[in-house]
Amino acid sequence: MASQKSDENCMDSSTEINIPAVPAENNDQSRNDPECSDLDDLLTDSTSYYNNAKKYWSNVSPTVDGMLGGFGSISFIDIRGSEQFLKQLYKQKPAPGRKWALDCGAGIGRISKNLLLPWFDQVDLVEQDEHFCETARKELADFTSKLGTVFNSGLQDFIPEEGRYDIIWAQWVLGHLTDEDAVQFFVRCAKGLARGGMIVIKENFTTSNVVDVDRTDSSVTRPLLQMKQLLKQGNMRVVKEQRQTSFPKELYPVYMLALRPIIKN
Residues making up the annotated binding site for S-adenosyl-L-methionine are: 105, 110, 155-156, 171
Computed on alpha carbons and rounded to an integer, the radius of gyration of the chain in Å comes to 17
CA separation for the pair 241, 261 (Å, rounded): 15
What is the DSSP code string of 243-262? Answer: E--S--TTBPPEEEEEEEEP
Q: For residue 151, what are the β-bridge partners?
A: 126
User: What is the torsional sign of CA 58, 64, 66, 71?
Assistant: positive
Residue ranges with strand state E in 87-246:
100-104, 122-127, 147-152, 165-171, 193-204, 212-214, 219-221, 236-243
Contacts of 254 (CB under 8 A, 6+ apart): 1, 202, 203, 204, 205, 243, 244, 247
Residues annotated within the binding site are: 105, 110, 155-156, 171
CA separation for the pair 192, 43 (Å, rounded): 29
Q: How many CA atoms lie within 13 A of 160 on its CB side?
A: 31
Taking every pair of C-alpha atoms in the chain, what is the biggest distance, in angstroms?
56
Q: How many CA atoms lie within 13 A of 77 on its CB side?
A: 12
